[in-house]
Amino acid sequence: MKKFLQNNLFIFWGLSIAFLLLTGYAIISEQFFLLAIPYVLGIVWLALKAIDKLLFLIVFLVPLSVPMSEFFSGLPINMFIPTEPLVAGVLLLFLILLPTQKWINKDLLFHPVTVASAVLMTWMLLTTVTSTMPVVSIKFFFMRLWFLITFYYMMVLIIRKPKDIEKLVWLYTIPMVIVIAYGLTRHATYGIFDKKIAHWAANPFFKDHTIYGAALAFYVPFLTLMAFRKGKALLTQVGTVSLLVIFSTALIFSYSRAAWLSVGGALILYIIIRLKVNWKYIVGLSIIALIAGGFMWNRIMIQLEQNRQESSVSNIGEHVKSMTNITSDASNLERINRWKSAFRMFNEKPLLGFGPGTYMFQYAPYQMSYERTIISTNAANRGNAHSEYFGPLSEQGFPGMLTYIALITAIMITGIRRYYLLEDTTLKRYLMGAILGLTTYILHGFLNNFLDTDKISVPFWGFTAVIVAIDMYHHQLSSNNLEKLESK
């Protein structure tokens, strides 16, 4: 009997019989929710025994997650399944185990990026207390908290080997290929050069082409750097180049102008970093450009108003040209309408704002009739403030916007400073990929905001975790210890 138990056969057959009995009872009694119990228990076991594997599993599932509204209508809350319930469970587990000090790392706790994120969340909590819609703000706060804890704090703690960084990238990009194939197939069926089809081609995995393009843009720089590295097996290089081609093609046919611009901005930053341009010159030129822009503002606006090229359905060149059309392009005009509404809300509550997550419910009265467009709505069902900067400004006041700017500043300073100090070429490539990926979204954030979704929170906080992990563990992760670490 002892040998029998040691071979785990008793446990295996016991669990198998229990599973069959539970399944039979659930079907006979038509209580189908009981079928989820074995999977929930399995996830709990995985969380307790191998939390790193659970986190990587969630990353893998994120591109494939779909909103609950696809299956159930009339729900009071809409979550992406299966990922957001899993992330919420990880947050709960983290809070339960926190007193055991299992997740306490003083170096991480006092890292500038962690401090900046803590300040951001603290201010968000304060404005949740003063919110005009407390229930909405509480939901929003906890949603942002579970993304931060899961994909930043815990991810930094489990990134201990160089291959963990690659794993974080591959586990998002590989399932993303399934979404890309699905989206491009639907797009091609109705007309690959039709921009309107791109808006919903990747639905239900991505609700529209803007968030789809933002997710693709995150990984194009990293894949580019990985595709041109030396010393890797031929099959690995072919696979990486193939992923780069697939992502680049999908990015082009996403027709997301913000995503296109963000990749161009990342390329400029790459050149600046590689050429080691003195940042004093960059800041100085930026100040001069801002002053010159102020003096020439009227002339610039006249030039922009002369651009009547609207977003094209089938011509990519015309679609690019329409980026500066602020006279007749409905998409651009609606974005400006949302921004102006955010500023009017800020003027009414400049310090604490209306509360996290409330913009979509509060902005309607702040629209002016003469600024509304053919796609305007009072329910924000076509996006919210369209900005990671102006959204917090209206919802959390001026300090709310400042906390976000402080966070991304801390991330970029940490990453660029460490890049200049690193000697290990592999780590420098990983770090550059993370910096450029985040740059695409920092720029994209001027035109859209998606950090309240799992699709964008994973690459945003994941790449932030890569930067902080390399900053903290670069000695252990260096090539001097590479073979030793990866053999463990």
- The predicted pLDDT at position 315 comes to 53
Contacts 24+ apart (CB under 8 A), 115-122: 115/410, 116/403, 116/406, 116/407, 116/409, 116/410, 116/411, 117/148, 117/152, 117/407, 119/403, 119/406, 119/407, 120/403, 120/404, 120/406, 120/407, 121/145, 121/148
pLDDT tens digits along 167-200: 999 999 999 999 999 999 999 998 888 888 888 8
Q: At what angle do helices 162-190 and 454-477 cross, to 10 degrees?
A: 150
Cis peptide before 204 (omega within 30 of 0): yes
Q: Express as a percent the part of the chain with pLDDT over 90.
A: 50
- The predicted pLDDT at position 438 comes to 97
Structure tokens at 51: 């939390």
Region of 208 please: left (phi>0), alpha (psi -120 to 50) or beta. Answer: beta
More confident residue, 3 or 472: 472
Structure tokens at 201: 């081609």
pLDDT band at residue 287, thresholds of 50, 70 and 90? confident
**Spatial contact of 346 and 397, defined as CB atoms under 8 Å apart:** yes
In the predicted structure, residue 478 carries a pLDDT above the cut 90: no
**Spatial contact of 423 and 473, defined as CB atoms under 8 Å apart:** no
pLDDT tens digits along 414-432: 999 999 999 888 899 999 9
Opening angle at CA 83, ends 82 and 87, nearest 5: 130
- The predicted pLDDT at position 301 comes to 47
Look up residue 194 and give its amino acid.
D
- What mean pLDDT comes out for the span 470-482? 69
| Cα(212)–Cα(199) distance, integer angstroms | 9
Structure tokens at 207: 């609700």
Instruction: Name the average pLDDT for the chain.
Output: 83
Q: How many CA atoms lie within 13 A of 382 on its CB side?
A: 15
- The predicted pLDDT at position 2 comes to 47
Structure tokens at 345: 């809300």
Opening angle at CA 289, ends 288 and 293, nearest 5: 120
- The predicted pLDDT at position 166 comes to 92
pLDDT tens digits along 226-279: 998 877 777 888 899 999 999 999 999 999 988 999 999 999 999 999 998 887
Look up residue 7 and give its amino acid.
N
Structure tokens at 77: 């809350």
pLDDT tens digits along 291-302: 776 666 555 444
Buried b / exposed e across 36-50, counting CB within 10 Å, b at 16+? eeeeeeebeeebeee
**Spatial contact of 228 and 439, defined as CB atoms under 8 Å apart:** no
- The predicted pLDDT at position 156 comes to 95
Backbone angles phi, psi at 381, to 5 degrees: -80, 5
Structure tokens at 145: 């908290």
- The predicted pLDDT at position 400 comes to 96
- The predicted pLDDT at position 4 comes to 43
In the predicted structure, residue 313 carries a pLDDT above the cut 80: no
**Spatial contact of 393 and 123, defined as CB atoms under 8 Å apart:** no
**Spatial contact of 54 and 90, defined as CB atoms under 8 Å apart:** yes
For residue 262, which of 404, 466, 438 has the smallest C-alpha distance?
Answer: 438
